[in-house]
Each structure stands twice: as C-alpha cells, then as structure tokens.
C-alpha cells in the first residue's frame, strides 16, 4: 500500500521529499523493519552493551541462587530450579527500561527531528526501536539459560519447552516495551525515564511469583501477587520448562500482552508526535 496523503510546505527545500501524514500498513511495516536494522547495527558497534547483557545474568543468578537459596528452600539446588524461570523473566522485564531510556536519548540528540523530516510512517522509529530491543532481550534469555545450565539446571520440558518459554517472555516484553516507550516520550530526561521505569517495574517483578510463591506471602499480598501479570508469565514459563499447568498461565500472559500493547502502543505514538 502507498501513502494516502502527503504534507508539503512552500518553504521546504525542493530536494526534500514530502512527509506522509498517513501511510498504509505495508509501508509502516517496511519502515519499521528498516529502523529495526539501525537499532541492531547500533548493538553490533557497541560491545560494551553486549558485555553488560552477558554479565548481568551471571550476577543475578549467582546472587539469588547462592545467597538466598539455602534460606528460601533449604538447599540452593531446589531454589535454583524454582528460580530460573523467574530470573529469566526479571532480567528481560528490567531490560525493557532501556527502550524508553534510549528513545529519550535519541530525542535529546535530535535524531528524531531527522526522522520527522523523512517520508516514513510516524510510528516507524518507535517500532524499529522496540523490535531492535527484542534482539537484546533474546541475548539476555540465552545468557541466563547458559548460566543456569552451568550450575546444574536441567529443565524437564526439554528444548521445546525452553524455546516456547523464551518466546513467551519475549512476547510479554514486546508489550512492556510500549509502556517503556510511552514513559520515555513523557519524561524530560533519560534519567527521569529510568527512575519512573524502576518505580513501575520493581513492584511488578518482586511482587510476583518470580522469587517466592504467593502462598508464602502475607495474606493481603498473596491475592495481589497471584493476579500480577508477571506471575502469569512466570508460572507459564515454569510450566513449560519444569512441567505443570500451562493453559491458564499462557492464556493470561497472552491476554495481558494484548491489553498492554493495545493501551500503550497508541499512547506511545501520541506521546512521540507530541514530543517531536
């Protein structure tokens, strides 16, 4: 599909193409994938970021398994098996903060002013940033699994269960990226984005079944944790990786991902247009 309408200005240079107000779905997808490649290339040329994606999972797994494992379940091996799906989910969910942070940095540097002058879909820069970040999250999932395997984690669900669980957390992370992008477009500085994102994501993650079963929490907190969207995704991953019920948790995870995307995707695009 091609552009429906275009906006031009008499004061614009003749060699600058008109900027479309509305474009079709195929054009939006193509523009988004083009900017996704830009995001991936940035990762390839920034080895320090890749190193951070590799070291953070090692730190999280080591601290939680060996520091808290004995106290939580009597031996660290039992807690390791319970914890691994939660650690994967936590690592990826925390990584979604980077979407809003990076977008805010790009706005400050003026990169989005250039995007605004190009004949591309208005949502393409956001789509490119989010899809590019999914590559980072996939690296995080692989690194956490490798660390877990190194300390003896052996998922009963086999390779299929692990792959499906990894895909499920990436779908959920895709939804959270739009919330992060919305915050990134509203907050005035990258540091403010990080502060707001931590306020949102810490209660979601630590108030879930990622580290402690809801039944072991105080009475007032248990029902909140049981209905936390992060609890649904972690329970789904445990079922897929270790065995157990998956139908309910997977269904709820997909519902939450759809609702979060449906709410925050248009909000992120609106905030982006308003900001730029």
243-258 pLDDT tens trace: 888 999 999 999 999 9
Q: Give the residue among 86, 130, 78 at the shortest CA–CA distance from 228.
A: 86
Top mean-pLDDT range of 44-48, 118-122, 233-237? 233-237
The confidence band for 11, taking pLDDT boundaries of 50, 70 and 90, is very low
Distance between CA 90 and CA 260 in Å, rounded?
18
Distance between CA 241 and CA 84 in Å, rounded?
9
Distance between CA 254 and CA 175 in Å, rounded?
10
What is the average pLDDT across 166-182?
94
The confidence band for 21, taking pLDDT boundaries of 50, 70 and 90, is low
What is the average pLDDT across 69-96?
89
The pLDDT assigned to 113 comes to: 67
Distance between CA 213 and CA 251 in Å, rounded?
20
């Amino acid at each position: 599909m091609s552009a429906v309408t275009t906006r031009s200005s008499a004061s614009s240079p003749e060699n600058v193409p008109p900027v479309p107000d509305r474009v079709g779905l195929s054009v939006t997808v193509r523009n988004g994938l083009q900017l996704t490649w830009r995001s991936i290339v940035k990762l390839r040329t920034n080895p320090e970021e890749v190193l951070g994606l590799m070291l953070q999972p090692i730190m999280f797994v080591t601290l939680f398994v060996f520091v808290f494992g004995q106290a939580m379940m009597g031996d660290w091996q039992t807690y390791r098996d319970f914890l691994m799906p939660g650690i994967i989910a936590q690592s990826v969910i925390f990584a979604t903060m980077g979407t809003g942070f990076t977008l805010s940095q790009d706005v400050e540097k003026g990169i989005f002013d250039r995007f605004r002058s190009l004949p591309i879909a208005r949502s393409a820069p956001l789509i490119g940033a989010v899809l590019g970040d999914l590559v980072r999250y996939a690296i995080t999932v692989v690194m956490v699994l490798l660390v877990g395997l190194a300390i003896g984690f052996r998922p009963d669900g086999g390779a299929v269960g692990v792959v499906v669980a990894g895909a499920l957390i990436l779908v959920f992370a895709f939804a959270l990226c739009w919330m992060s992008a919305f915050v990134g477009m509203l907050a005035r500085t990258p540091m403010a984005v990080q502060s707001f994102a931590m306020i949102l994501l810490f209660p979601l993650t630590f108030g879930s079944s990622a580290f402690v079963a809801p039944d072991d929490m105080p009475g007032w907190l248990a029902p909140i944790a049981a209905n936390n969207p992060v609890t649904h995704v972690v329970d789904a991953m445990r079922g897929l990786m270790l065995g157990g019920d998956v139908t309910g948790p997977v269904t709820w995870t997909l519902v939450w991902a759809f609702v979060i995307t449906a709410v925050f995707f248009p909000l992120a695009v609106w905030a982006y247009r308003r900001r730029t």
